[in-house]
Amino acid sequence: MMFILTTISEALLYVCFALLMGSYILSLFPNDLIPTIVVPRKVKLVAVIGIAIFSFVPLISLLMYLYEDYGLFNSLQSILLTFEVGKSWLFMFIVAVFLGLYILFFDHKHSTYYSFVGILLVFVLILSVSWSSHANSIQSLKGLITHFTHFASVVIWVGILFVITWFSKNTNNWLSFLKWFHITALYCFGIIVITGFSLMSFSTPLDAYTDTWLVSYGQSLLIKHLLIIPLIAYAFINGILMKKQLMKNENFDPRPWTKAEFFILLLIFAATGALSQQSPPHHLFETINSEGFSSLFLLFHEGIVFSDMAVQLVFNTGGLLLLSISVVFLVMSLFSFVKRMPAIFSFIMSLFVVIAAYLGLLFSIQIV
């Protein structure tokens, strides 16, 4: 139950960051480059409160562990003042209070100065998240900078997409919006890929990537990576195909398709939240001995009781067939836009892409 709660809270935490960052960035652009956007002040306040609450949820498990021996007050004091994860949350809470007061009393004024201050405060909040990350605990300053760059790029990209999707009052100037946002998204995605590989190398050697599928961390990482496939497909739809569609039909509403892309991103956030709760397999077999094999992995490979093993991909007929089916689902997802089918159909096809690809890979595993 706590695992599910923390996973959901982590995903919602990223959404709160994205909403704030996206609203501030879009407020910097002139009206002829974006649709009409209205983000109510109370919504931004809720996002700030959400950051304070959702970022505290991972500390609840630690609090419950210490509570039996030290009581609530002493346990809370110890976590916030002695544990790095507690110190980072306390710092985040203080900054969140400042940001909340800023939004409440000043943020309603229309000025680029206020938007830049808001962006700066959100960046400070992102820094506090990076402070408590796995990367910072492993590689210190290098990990902190890498995680900050990675997370900031995600929040910028997703934030603009999130706000434009859910808070635009019309689709005016959408083509003008796509011209600059497509480039921004490409730069952010490139940075995310580079820093993502760097972050993964801190905990998972690239040559042992398939070996990590034995444990829950590796399974979550695999699912996250597979979700990137439909994400790229939607980036192609919303960034390239959408331009051609809008040139033909200015009244076409692109928002259902950006919503589909956003929900894929939400699933990636959930997978990232699951990763944050699991032990990175720095020493894989020690992780297996302490935590056991992944329950998902055991669904496909029962009766494994030894730890001196390696996982190799040896593609067989069944695995290749499932991977081929995954490609078919991907083509159907793209083709549905061309044929003007509902975006929900494309989204369902995208989920099937991930499921079929996952099954194809798991059925192609050979234990050596």
Domain boundaries along the sequence of the chain: 1-170
Mean pLDDT of the region 169-197: 91
pLDDT in tens, 210-257: 888 888 888 888 999 999 999 999 999 998 899 999 988 888 899 999
Residue 87 has pLDDT above 80, yes or no: yes
The pLDDT, as a whole number, for residue 107 is 65
The residue behind tokens 């019309």 is 170
The pair of three-digit structure tokens given for residue 164, joined into one six-digit string: 């434009």
Helix (H) or strand (E) holding 90: helix 84-105
Going by C-alpha positions, the residue among 68, 216, 51 that lies closest to residue 124 is 51
The pLDDT, as a whole number, for residue 307 is 55
The pLDDT, as a whole number, for residue 161 is 95
Strand boundaries in 272-344, DSSP class E: 311-313
